[in-house]
Structure 1
Amino acid sequence: MKKQQWLATIAIFLTMGVILLGAYTRLTDAGLGCPDWPGCYGFLKVPHQEHHIEAAQQAFPERPLEPHKAWNEMIHRYFAGSLGLLIAAIFFSALFRRQSPKMLPGILLALVVFQAALGMWTVTLNLLPLVVMGHLLGGFSLLCLLAVHWLTLHPQHQVQEPELRSLKPLAALAVMVLVGQIALGGWTAANYAALACIDLPVCEAGWIDRLNVSEAFDLHLGHDDYEYGVMSAEARQTVHVFHRLGAVITVLVLSVFLVKLWRRATSTTMKRLTAAAASLLVVQFSLGVLNVVLHLPLANAVAHNFIAANLLMLLVLIYVQIHRSNALLSKETL
């Protein structure tokens, strides 16, 4: 069991690193830093020798080699590949050990394989927004499921609080609202709409007249290249406005849930999870405002992505704790 606990812990931190690197790669416009997959211009690492660079330019004349972008992309791939191997180790460790939970490791393995496919399609489909957003959600899902797996391996951190039973529907709603807002954020980033509005609290004057919902949420299939976006300015502004409105709704729903949870929770574990989630919610909203005010500084934008992943992870853990408390209580009353 100790081995599985260590594997789960390392995998969580490695996933956080992959999420950070993924955000950095996307925000430095390095998603196509290597125009092929899984290598880079036909090599296992970024070509640096003169004859290798010449061969790369001949193979991909439409995409000149930019070493700094290529390295951003390849480092992300190296870390993602390492995570895939680690999750495979988690699966086989659980498979060959009696009395170990096997379903969740199996789901994790399937998800990381699908994530690899999404990573490939991100490149081969030239940053198709639907794939880019799916890749983001897949990474966040991996982090959440690894955290649940970690909790399963550490029963001493599981709580049973009958007082929280009635909060389960609100907990589920909070998770769903946050997932929706993260998807909106991913759609905003994938369509290069993060700076479509630079005024607060909403947008520039006349923004309501410029809304174009049909184009903003069209999949825009069939383009050869999606780098730097294919939407009109009005559609990007619409996406941005929806993300801002979603942020307000998310803050309200999560605040109501976390306040109720704080008042009813009795265990130290649940109190800490609640306080941590509330703190991340405040930080996340502040980072979103700073993205607009400071015109999307790189470090701030990467942090905005990373905090969102961790906030979702905490909410999922809270939901799982409440769900398990209900399940244990139901067994006891039978």
Structure 2
Amino acid sequence: MKTINLVRLSLMLTLVVIMLGAYTRLADAGLGCPDWPGCYGQLTVPNEKHEIALAQALYPSLTVEANKAWLEMIHRYFAGTLGIAVFVITFRCLKEKSLSYGLPITLSLVIVFQALLGMWTVTMMLMPIVVMGHLLGGFTLFCLLNVLYWRLKDREEVEPQSISTSWSLKALSMATLVVVVLQIALGGWTSSNYAALMCTSLPVCQGDWMSHLDFATAFQLIQPAQESYEFGTLDYGARMTIHVTHRFGAVAVTLFTLTLIYQLFGQNRPRFTAAALKVSTLLLLQLMLGVSNVLFSLPLVIAVAHNVVAALLLVSILHVNYLLLTSANQSRTVNDLLDKESLR
């Protein structure tokens, strides 16, 4: 299998892992297995009588919930497969010397750190900062694999297009990317603190919500030690503050992204028009999913889709940045070649 095809497969696998991770978290199965990487000291979920007896001997205070345990283990199986695929990609990129070493090595480092975060998620009993970090790690891996795919694909093009773009568009695109990343982090913080249902009305929150704002507690990244952080430990005011902040973040993302879309359409270039259409579609879908989460009280399918579309929206805006950056680099390369020819 060619390296680029292996990267394609890894991209699909990463999206599946993100989906399974969201489903596991939202189904309250994050502690379905109390240990790592196995489950109750075994490689699979205890099923037979002697396996359940062994599990209860190891963890006498816990009851084996097979449905939650299987969700957790299936997620781990897919994540482990993805890890192997990433290591193979890194090895092949280094062996073929098709790209600089930085990106392939970074991919492997991210997958190792992501595995550690997966372990800490369990051993630290769903500590919010760790859960949020695990989410961001998955999104980071997805972004890096996409960048690798784009670079490998560009190498196969005989004549890559050179497009001159303004610095203002590049700055807007980068700012939009930063705002989307911050909003995803806010979404992870909302989910890991079980704050998704703290406001059940639109557009902001019900009742005298402003009197309950508590930013100091809401965004205390290292929270007081607890036996478990499952189902959240913050009071209503702090959780409501997190939720409201996430909603205002959605407004900021919408404004920045719409401005970027408008500017891309104004370039009148096919690649930018196609990118603008993709970003527009994903933004609209993400807004609809966010509103649906509120109106229908966080249905599991819609909540998982909200995570997946967030990853796709992030990558689509990252692609815009990639197009702008590579276009600028190609333009400089062409100009350098022309200058050298003129000096001969």
For 2:175, the equivalent position in structure 1 comes to 173
CA–CA distance in structure 2, aligned partners of residues 158 and 194 of structure 1: 45
Q: Output the CA distance in 2 between the equivalents of 1:329 and 1:166.
A: 17
Among candidates 194, 206, 210, match of residue 208 of structure 2: 206
Structure 2 letter corresponding to 1:8: V
Q: Residue 236 of structure 1 aligns with which residue?
A: 239
Structure 2: how far apart are the matches of 1:223 and 1:160?
56
Change over 3 Å in CA distance of 1:265–1:115 after alignment to 2 = farther
Q: Is the 8 A contact 2:165 2:324 kept in 1?
A: no
Q: Within the alignment, does 1:130 sit opposite 2:132 as a pair? A: no
Q: 1:184, 1:243 within 8 Å by CA — same for their partners in 2?
A: yes
Kept in 1, the 8 Å contact 2:173–2:321? The answer is yes
CA distance in 1, matches of 2:286, 2:61: 39
Within 1, Cα distance between the matches of 2:86 and 2:160? 23
Identity of aligned residues (%): 45
SS at match of 1:88: helix
Equivalence for 2:194: 192
- Give distance in 1, aligned partners of 2:110 and 2:33: 24
Structural RMSD (CA): 1.4
5+ residue gaps, structure 1, are none
The answer to whether the 8 A contact 1:159-1:270 is kept is no
Q: 1: distance between equivalents of 2:6 and 2:130?
A: 29
Is the CA contact (8 Å cut-off) linking 2:30 and 2:122 kept in structure 1? yes
**Equivalents in 2 of 1:117, 1:276: separation in Å?**
34
Choose from 249, 259, 262 the match for 1:259: 262
What one-letter code is carried by the residue in structure 2 that aligns with 1:113?
V
C-alpha distance in structure 2 between counterparts of 1:165 and 1:275, whole Å: 22
**Structure-1 residue corresponding to 2:73:** 74
Distance 1:98 1:243 in 2: 43
2:117 match: 118
Give the one of 212, 217, 228 matched to 2:219. 217
Q: CA deviation at 1:165?
A: 4.6
Aligned residue among 158, 161, 164 for 2:163? 161
Count of residues in Structure 1 that have an aligned counterpart in Structure 2 = 332
**3-state SS of the aligned residue for 1:154?**
helix
Q: Please report the TM-score for the alignment, with normalisation by the length of structure 2.
A: 0.94
Take 2:99 and 2:328, find their aligned partners in 1: how far apart are those partners? 23
Q: 1:289 to 1:64 in 2, by over 3 A?
A: same
Alpha carbons of 1:320 and 1:63: their partners in 2 closer, same or farther (altered >3 Å)? same
Report SS of the residue matched to 1:327. helix
What is the match of residue 320 of structure 2?
318
SS of the residue corresponding to residue 289 of structure 2 reads: helix
SS class of match (2:200): coil
Aligned to 2:341: none
The residue correspondences of 1:55-70 to structure 2 (distance < 5 A) are: 55-70=54-69
CA distance in 1 between counterparts of 2:62 and 2:184 reads: 31
1:38-53 matches, cutoff 5 A? 38-53=37-52
Tell me if structure 2 keeps the 8 A contact 1:115–1:138: yes
**What amino acid does structure 2 have at the position aligned with 1:253?**
F
Q: 1:164·1:322 contact (CA, 8 Å) conserved in 2?
A: no
Aligned to 1:298: 300
* Cα deviation code 1:97-133 (max 9, x no counterpart): 1334432111101001100000000000000000100
Please report how far the alpha carbon of residue 163 of structure 1 lies from its aligned counterpart in structure 2 after TM superposition: 3.2
- Whether the 8 Å contact between 1:158 and 1:321 is mirrored in structure 2 is no
- Are the structure 2 counterparts of residues 271 and 225 from structure 1 closer, same or farther at C-alpha, using a change threshold of 3 Å? same
SS at match of 1:162: coil
Aligned-partner residue type, residue 192 of structure 2: A
2:34 counterpart of 1:31? no
Residue 259 (structure 1) shift = 1.1
C-alpha distance after superposition, 1:217-237 (max 9, x if no partner)? 012142221000110011100
- Cα deviation, residue 324, structure 1: 1.2
Shift of 1:148: 0.7
Distance between the aligned counterparts of 1:291 and 1:98, measured in 2?
46
Superposed displacement of residue 59, structure 1:
1.1
Q: What letter matches 1:193 in structure 2? A: A
Measured after TM superposition, the shift of residue 328 of structure 1 is 2.0
Separation in 2 of the partners of 1:63 and 1:204?
38
Q: Distance in 1 between matches of 2:168 and 2:327?
A: 11
Structure 2 unmatched runs, 5+: 337-344
CA contact (8 A) 1:161 1:265 kept: no
How far does residue 272 in structure 1 lie from its aligned partner after superposition?
1.7
| C-alpha separation in 2, matches of 1:29 and 1:158 | 47
Tell me the equivalent position of 2:342: none
